């Protein structure tokens, strides 16, 4: 006969213990409790938990243009302050403030009556000098013949020749005075020295203006093209040159470097500029180098003095490794690392060396290689060393999406690599 089970033994022993003074209800409760306790010892084992699901992307290489974003200010490509060159009362303003003017276009008219009188006086002085010169010249010519026959003394001859030369010089002086008077008369009409856009007029009609005064009547700015002065720290430039020399990135020649602008409201400027000038000295107070780029400005959208962010091409890499920023974690010391899935689908932690940020992505210089599976989702569900269930993801337009999801690349607006500001999304 088979031996009784543990449950049967507990069930038979319970009534005997319960009959020692307990009531029927207490007996029943005791039996149920003992049966449950005994049955738990021989019950079936719980199933093992399912490994948590985590998302990963497979590391690949790609051609990547690199840029740095720097602060800058717009300034006109040419600027001229208009000042009077003669004194007088301002009679007229001949332009509309803020309008476009061309070089040589009249801007102001100064009262020219005194200048016209000066021209008349200089003209009369020139006529007088010429008449005197004509007389002395004729006298010198006669004395030249008389001295040959000893009709006059040699001294009289020399004096006549000197008077003739002096009279000729007086004519030249009078002619120069007339030319100067005519130039001053021309200066009574103040013209634009360059083509461009005028500023506000600093003087009103009827004001007295003086030659070479410190206050400008107005300013003309040429803003198409317009310049953007950019400052870059010398430390960044040194690091960039080290990377060029080490062959990490290909060098972009300064003459061909393209520059893009982000305006004050965060929008992108429609036109691309070209780097034209790189400073040769470092500012002692700022530790920065000044760079200058030229931008077309046909719509006059950019105005002098605007604050902008310039994206300057600094290098290019044919085999760059780029990871979404959510794939990179940092320890309390700020050291970056990623979590990889090994062949057994276990999580491993690996330190990495990062380059510059490319929008919502990081350029990775060292630590991972093509083919590695880098974890991008599920950090709250899994830890290092744990076996997981991998779910493949992919990067699309700077976002992380499920690898099985249909591609939206054709529907998305085209953008420059490394400039997508969209935040990474998890499935």
Task: Read off the pLDDT of residues 240-271 as tens digits, 9 standing for 90 and up.
Answer: 666 556 555 455 555 557 888 999 888 999 99
Taking the C-alpha atoms of residue 323 and residue 371, their distance in angstroms, rounded to an integer, is: 13
Q: What would the mean pLDDT of 226-240 be, rounded to a whole number?
A: 78
Give the angle subtended at the CA of 312 by the CAs of 311 and 318, to the nearest 5°: 110
What local confidence, expressed as pLDDT, does residue 409 receive? Answer: 52
Q: What is the SS3 assignment for 206?
A: coil
User: Measured over all CA atoms, what is the biggest interatomic distance in the chain, rounded to whole angstroms?
Assistant: 182
Distance between the two ends of the chain, CA-based, in angstroms? 62
Which pairing describes strands 307-324 and 258-262: parallel, antiparallel, or unpaired? antiparallel
Between 7 and 326, name the one with better pLDDT: 326
Taking the C-alpha atoms of residue 425 and residue 72, their distance in angstroms, rounded to an integer, is: 32
C-alpha pair distances (Å), 161 with each of 43, 136, 155: 144, 8, 10
Report the half-sphere exposure of 12 (CA within 13 A, side-chain side). Answer: 5
Statement: the pTM of the whole predicted model exceeds 0.85: no
What local confidence, expressed as pLDDT, does residue 412 receive? Answer: 43
222 φ/ψ angles, rounded to the nearest 5 degrees: -95, 115
Q: Is the pLDDT of residue 231 over 80?
A: yes
- Contact yes or no for 110/89 (Cβ under 8 A): yes
Q: Is the pLDDT of residue 364 over 50?
A: yes
Taking the C-alpha atoms of residue 237 and residue 288, their distance in angstroms, rounded to an integer, is: 9
Give the angle subtended at the CA of 108 by the CAs of 102 and 112, to the nearest 5°: 130
Buried b (16+ CB within 10 A) or exposed e, 358-397: bbbbbbbbebbeeebbbbbbbbeebeeeeebeebebbbbb
Buried b (16+ CB within 10 A) or exposed e, 91-103: eebebeeeebbee
What local confidence, expressed as pLDDT, does residue 46 receive? Answer: 64
Q: Is the pLDDT of residue 13 over 70?
A: no
- Contact yes or no for 236/288 (Cβ under 8 A): no
Q: Is the pLDDT of residue 181 over 60?
A: yes
Which pairing describes strands 88-93 and 106-110: parallel, antiparallel, or unpaired? antiparallel
C-alpha pair distances (Å), 33 with each of 6, 13, 20, 49: 14, 13, 17, 29
Q: Is the pLDDT of residue 86 over 90?
A: yes
**Domains of the chain with bracketed CATH:** 6-42 (no CATH), 54-61+318-402 (2.40.420.20), 67-76+221-316 (2.40.30.170), 84-219 (2.40.50.100)
Residue-wise pLDDT for 281-302, tens only, equals 776 677 778 888 899 999 989 9
């Amino acid at each position: 006969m088979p031996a009784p089970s543990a449950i049967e033994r507990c069930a038979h022993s319970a009534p005997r213990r319960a009959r020692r003074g307990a009531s029927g209800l207490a007996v029943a409760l005791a039996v149920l409790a003992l049966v449950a306790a005994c049955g738990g010892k021989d019950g079936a084992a719980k199933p093992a938990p399912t490994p948590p699901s985590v998302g990963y992307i497979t590391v690949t290489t790609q051609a990547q243009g690199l840029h740095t974003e720097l602060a800058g200010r717009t300034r006109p490509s040419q600027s001229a302050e208009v000042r009077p060159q003669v004194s007088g009362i301002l009679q007229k303003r001949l332009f509309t403030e803020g309008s476009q003017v061309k070089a040589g276009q009249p801007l102001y008219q100064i009262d020219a009556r005194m200048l016209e009188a000066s021209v008349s006086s200089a003209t009369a002085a020139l006529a007088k000098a010429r008449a005197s010169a004509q007389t002395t010249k004729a006298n010198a010519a006669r004395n030249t013949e008389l001295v040959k026959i000893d009709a006059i003394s040699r001294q009289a001859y020399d004096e006549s020749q000197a008077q003739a030369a002096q009279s000729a010089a007086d004519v030249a002086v009078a002619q120069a005075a007339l030319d100067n008077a005519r130039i001053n008369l021309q200066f009574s009409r103040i013209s634009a020295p360059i083509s461009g856009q005028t500023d506000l007029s600093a003087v009103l009609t009827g004001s007295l203006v003086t030659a070479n005064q410190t206050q400008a009547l107005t300013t003309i700015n040429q803003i198409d093209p317009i310049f953007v002065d950019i400052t870059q720290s010398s430390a960044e430039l040194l690091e960039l040159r080290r990377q060029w020399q080490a062959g990490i990135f290909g060098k972009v020649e300064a003459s061909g470097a393209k520059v893009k602008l982000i305006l004050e409201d965060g929008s992108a400027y429609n036109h691309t500029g070209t780097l034209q000038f790189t400073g040769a000295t470092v500012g002692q107070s700022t530790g920065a180098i000044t760079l200058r780029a030229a931008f077309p400005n046909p719509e006059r959208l950019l105005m002098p003095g605007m604050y902008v962010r310039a994206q300057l091409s600094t290098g290019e890499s044919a085999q760059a490794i780029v990871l979404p920023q959510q794939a990179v974690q940092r320890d309390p010391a700020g050291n970056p690392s990623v979590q990889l899935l090994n062949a057994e689908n276990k999580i491993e932690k690996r330190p990495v060396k990062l380059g510059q940020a490319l929008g919502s992505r990081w350029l990775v210089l060292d630590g991972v290689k093509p083919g590695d599976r880098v974890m991008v989702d599920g950090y709250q569900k899994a830890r290092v060393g744990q076996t997981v269930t991998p779910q493949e993801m992919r990067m699309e337009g700077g976002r992380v999406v499920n690898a099985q999801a249909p591609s939206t690349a054709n529907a998305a607006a085209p953008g420059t690599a490394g400039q997508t500001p969209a935040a990474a999304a998890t499935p």
